[in-house]
Amino acid sequence: MTIQVGDRVPSATFIKATENGPEPVSSDEFFAGRKVALFSVPGAFTPTCSARHLPGYVEKADELKAKGVDEIACTAVNDAFVMGAWGKSAEADNVTMLSDGNGAFAKAVGLDFDGSKFGMGTRGQRYSMLVNDGVVEQLHVEAPGEFKVSSAEHLIENL
């Protein structure tokens, strides 16, 4: 079942690329005690994700923070090295890149999909959510092939 507004974010482990190598990040700890704007993309370096989705959050980071967001994070079913390289290439220093390499978080929130016909395997859907102290306050899931409601601009309008 898909996660809903009011639900607690499930326990899962992301991996973050750091200067010291891959580092596990517990979702319980990551979301605890703060407001996080999390957005998911089907894949790092893919066209819409690279041209519009990630850049929008990079450009709007100050506006999100001015509206009470403590951290902005991007997740995708890619390994930590790819997520780290994508963040660097996009100059996304103000966005935490969280690898969901095995799709465990995408599956746990019920927002995974089968991208096999595109050679991508299981991936996470395109969405954004606002998580406050581990509880989902907003959830914006895109229709297949769309990019509207998961944008930074849409999240800002709803804060």
The DSSP letter of residue 91 is T
β-pairing verdict for 135-141 and 127-132: antiparallel
What amino acid positions are annotated as catalytic residues?
A: 49
Q: Which amino acid is at 19?
A: E
123 with 111: CB under 8 angstroms? no
Question: Rounded to 5 degrees, what angle do the CA atoms 78, 109, 1 make?
Answer: 135
- Which tokens in the block code for residue 112? 């995974």
